[in-house]
Amino acid sequence: MEIKPLVLFVFLAFAFSVPASAMSVDIEIMDALNGRSSFLEFNNTTAAYFSFDWENIGSLDCNARLRVDITDPEGRVNSVWSREIPLAPGDSGLFEAYYFPKERGRYRAEIYMQYCNEFLRVSRFNFTYSPANQLLSSGDLKISASSDEDEVFFSLDPKIDLTGVRIIPLSHPKTWIFEPAKVGEISAGTHKEAVLGYKPAVWMPRNVTFAVVSDEGYREVNVQLERGKNHTSTLIFLLALALIISIAFNLSFFKLPKRPDGKEKEKEETPRKGKK
């Protein structure tokens, strides 16, 4: 017998005797994290205004947020954020962030997109800012504010017409995320409420300064961040109300059955045996 045919026969016999599981091939499709922007708008009239469009072209659902790191003329770095927007694959969102400098000079902006907990740098540029806003008096604009653990509530009562109103955080813990609030126009003598969200790194009572900025001027307001005082009592009330409703609902199933004449049956007594 020749050696070559024997070797070929042994090889084929061994190959076809290998279990199917040993010959399987695993194919893994990696999820894609990707996005793109169609435009970036910047305006620095009454405040530095950043508007950024972002589209999720990947295969993952992502929460996205714009972050702008701004270096002032003294070399100090401040971060401003947009609100967070959830983006499914194919969705797009418009992200807006505001910065209110009060010093004249040259600034540097570095723009990042926080995307599925990743930071992607999308642009950087320098800009010059010359403050033109005048300070509004308490007679022009009355402001009151309160807070809970993740939101700040503002009540605005102007005595003059205000346009382009925005609420911008000025001073706060650097590791905390504060979103801006876009209010718009407020007519004189009307009442307007606005909500500004924030995300603390570790929550604790803090004093934070905000600027209510409009085309007509601005006012600053200090807010002592506190947890909502009425949340616990409200929760207890709702739980008690739910318990009462549940008990009443269950008791409705334990009514005495009714006789054919419509009257409820009385409890039958066991007849006593008469004496013999």
- Residue 62 in contact with residue 82, Cβ under 8 Å? no
Average confidence score pLDDT of the chain: 79
| pLDDT per residue as tens digits for the range 208-220 | 999 999 999 999 9
Q: Identify the pLDDT of residue 245.
A: 77
Q: Provide the CATH number for the domain formed by 141-225 in this structure.
A: 2.60.40.10
> Which residues of the chain form beta strands (DSSP E)?
35-36, 40-44, 48-56, 62-71, 77-81, 85-87, 92-99, 105-115, 118-129, 141-147, 151-158, 162-171, 177-178, 181-186, 192-199, 206-213, 218-225
**pLDDT in the model for residue 153:** 97
Domain(s) labelled CATH 2.60.40.10 in the chain stretch across 35-129, 141-225
Question: Given its phi and psi angles, is residue 216 left (phi above 0), alpha (psi -120 to 50 degrees) or beta?
Answer: alpha
46/99 Cα distance (integer angstroms):
10
Measured in residues, the chain has a length of 276
- Candidates 3.40.50.150, 2.60.40.10, 3.30.830.10, 2.60.34.10; correct CATH number of 35-129? 2.60.40.10
The predicted-structure confidence for 242-275, as pLDDT tens digits, reads as follows 777 777 666 666 554 555 555 555 544 555 555 4
pLDDT in tens, 104-162: 899 999 999 988 888 888 889 999 988 767 889 989 999 999 999 999 999 999 999 99
pTM: 0.68
Q: What is the pLDDT of residue 226?
A: 86
Tell me which H or E stretch contains 70.
Answer: strand 62-71
Q: Work out the pLDDT band at 238, boundaries 50, 70, 90.
A: low
